[in-house]
Amino acid sequence: MRRTLVPATLALGLLIVAVAVPDARVLVGATGVLALVVALLTRGRRSRRSLLRAPQRARLAPLWPDASIKSVVEAMREPAFVIDRMLALRFGNGAASRAFGGSTLGDPFPMRFRAPDLLAALEAAVSDGEVQSVDYAERAPADRSWSVDILPIRGAGEGRASFFLVLFRDHTQARRLERMRTDFVANASHELRTPLASLTGFIETLKGPARDDAAARLRFLDIMGDQAARMSRLIDDLLSLSRIETKRRLRADERVDLAEVLASVVQQFTPASAEKGLPIELTGADAGPVFVNGDRDELTQVFANLLENACKYGDGGGRILVGLRRDGSVAEAFVQDFGQGIAPEHVPRLTERFYRVEEGSSRIRGTGLGLSIVRNVLIRHHTRLTVSSIPGQGSTFAVRFGIRASASSEKTKPKQRVELS
């Protein structure tokens, strides 16, 4: 309205000037013609803009999805998008917003998911009208793996699909477990290959050059015995780890005296630690029983592994401290050595399978599974291992448990009588 009023006002003004001033009629006529040309050009430009916008408005017209289809897509637990044949976003459910952030309707879908394989699958679905599947991986802001299905949606009587459902399924955990399984098999094979190759080499030597050398034979047999023992320990640890991971949950009524477990483990390792000049001091375990929910054999294995590591890597510390602290309803058991300690970058990875710190006295051979076994046992006991270490001063491995009443005291506890009126 305002754009139409301006030329009309200008024309009226020119007419008044022409009537009032006869000598200015030629100039007024020329100005009127010029104004008419400008008005026609402006109107043509507005018409062309309207024509250019028309396809975009038609493409984004709310012909589909309707409310019922949107409700179905919104109810999906996996991230789901609806796009049209131009690969423009038409709808996204709440799971998609939570997983990938908000998106603007009408935006090109490939601009958000810039993956060549996904773009090729989208174009193939649009071209062929067939279901397409592709893998999609994100590296930022998090490492995630997705399986993407692109499903054409055809309306009643439509020969080809006008819209497509893009459905994402999160396979991150499955891919992580697959990588862990592959790494585990590779590491286990590597750990077994080394002593096996050593045994094979010594056997060939004993059959050949050292066949009649009695001194070499005895030396080689000792080495072969050590390698066989190493393989045996590795297999035992693998079987133990597998058994723990597949074992049932603890029963709520299982009780074990943590003080008794620590005393038993200390008694078991006292001769070995004395030979290395590392006497073991036990503190806090003589103040009475401390019952926790746990399996005796598994907790014995936990503290035996921790104490064995302290004996191996605590050289030069002068002693090993095994203790039990009580703090209200919580008990903390710990094993502390005063050796060379562990560098900070290694601490977070200590419980990984086959991880070993290859520096200093830590070059002592081991299976690299001891702390992984400890971790898995403690997960079953609903607690975790805490590690603190200062290079040059030693390391402390601690575990916290909730204190429980003994099984016998629960059995003899008088039952409350409840009278019903």
Q: What is the pLDDT of residues 39-49, one digit of tens each?
A: 555 554 444 44
Q: What is the pLDDT of residue 222?
A: 86
Structure tokens at 158: 């439509």
Instruction: Indicate whether 407 pLDDT > 50.
Output: yes
On whether residue 345 sits in a domain, the answer given is: yes
What letter represents residue 43's amino acid? Answer: R
Sign, CA dihedral 131-132-135-139, equals: negative
pLDDT at 51: 37
Predicted pLDDT at 352 = 81
pLDDT band at 419 (very low <50, low <70, confident <90, very high): very low
In this structure, the answer to whether residues 51 and 112 fall within a common structural domain is no
The reported pLDDT for the residue numbered 341 is: 87
Domain endpoint, select from 170, 204, 223: 170
Q: Let me know whether 90 and 74 are in one domain.
A: yes
Chosen domain end from 245, 263, 284 = 245
- pLDDT in the model for residue 421: 33
- Who's near 411: CB < 8 A, 6+ residues apart? none
Query: Order of strands, edge to edge, in the sheet holding 330-337?
Result: 280-283, 320-327, 330-337, 394-402, 385-390
Provide the H-helix boundaries in 208-295: 214-245, 258-275
Task: Check whether 291 has a pLDDT greater than 90.
Answer: yes
**What does the alpha-carbon distance between residue 418 and residue 420 come to, in Å, rounded to a whole number?**
6
Burial class of residue 93 (count of CB atoms within 10 Å of its CB; 0-12, 13-18, 19+): buried
What are the structure tokens assigned to 111, written together? 């601009």
94 plus 119 within the same structural domain: yes
Distance CA 350, CA 313 (A): 14
Token representation of residue 190: 């590597």
Averaged pLDDT for residues 1-20: 54
Domain ranges, residue 236: 175-245
Domains in the chain, number: 4
Per-residue pLDDT, averaged over 300-305, amounts to: 91
Does the residue 415 lie in any domain?
no
Mean pLDDT of 152-158: 73
Q: For residue 332, what pLDDT is reported?
A: 94
* Structure confidence at residue 54 as a pLDDT band (50, 70, 90): very low
- Show the CA angle centred on residue 127, arms to residues 125 and 130, nearest 5°: 40
On whether the CB atoms of residues 388 and 368 are closer than 8 A, the answer is no
Residue 173 has pLDDT above 50, yes or no: yes
Helix (H, G, I), strand (E, B) or coil at 114: coil
Mean pLDDT across the stretch 248-276?
Answer: 87
In a domain, 365, yes or no: yes
CATH number of the structural domain spanning residue 289: 3.30.565.10
Residues 199 and 134 in one domain: no
pLDDT band at 160 (very low <50, low <70, confident <90, very high): confident
Quick check: 91 and 76 in contact, CB under 8 A? no
Establish if 414 belongs to a structural domain.
no
The pLDDT of residue 16? 57
Question: Is 222 among the domain residues?
Answer: yes
Q: What is the pLDDT of residues 177-235, one digit of tens each?
A: 787 777 777 777 777 887 888 888 888 888 888 888 888 888 888 888 888 888 888 88
Q: Worst-scoring range by mean pLDDT, 126-140, 213-227, 229-243, 382-396?
A: 229-243
pLDDT over 70 (residue 389): yes
Is residue 382 classed as helix, strand or coil in its secondary structure?
A: coil
Q: Residue 222: give its domain's CATH number.
A: 1.10.287.130
Report if residue 220 sits inside a domain. Answer: yes
Q: Tokens 């055809």, residue?
A: 154
Residue 10's pLDDT band (boundaries 50, 70, 90)? low
For residue 53, being part of any structural domain is answered with yes
Q: Is residue 295 situated within a structural domain?
A: yes
Look at residue 55 in the predicted model and tell me its pLDDT: 44
Distances (CA, A) of 325 to 19, 266, 308, 345: 111, 16, 21, 28
Rounded CA gap, 213 and 273, in Å?
A: 37
Single out the residue of 334, 332, 333, 338 nearest to residue 279, CA to CA.
Answer: 338
Q: Which of 31 and 252 is assigned the larger pLDDT?
A: 252
Mean per-residue pLDDT, 158-172: 86
* Neighbouring residues of 132: CB distance < 8 A, sequence distance ≥ 6: 121, 122, 124, 125, 149, 150
Q: Write the CB contacts of 90 (distance below 8 Å, at least 6 apart in sequence).
A: 64, 65, 82, 83, 84, 105, 163
Same domain, 165 and 95: yes
Return the higher-pLDDT residue of 115 and 357: 115
Predicted pLDDT of residue 6:
53
DSSP 282: E
401 — pLDDT class (breaks 50, 70, 90) = very high
Q: How far is residue 62's CA from residue 90's CA, in Å, rounded to a whole number?
A: 9
Lowest-confidence range among 17-31, 189-203, 258-272?
17-31
- Looking up tokens 């060549």 gives 116
pTM: 0.55
Q: Which residue has the higher pLDDT, 58 or 340?
A: 340
Question: Does the pLDDT at position 168 exceed 80?
Answer: yes
- Residue 92: CATH number of its domain: 3.30.450.20
Span 57-86, mean pLDDT?
75
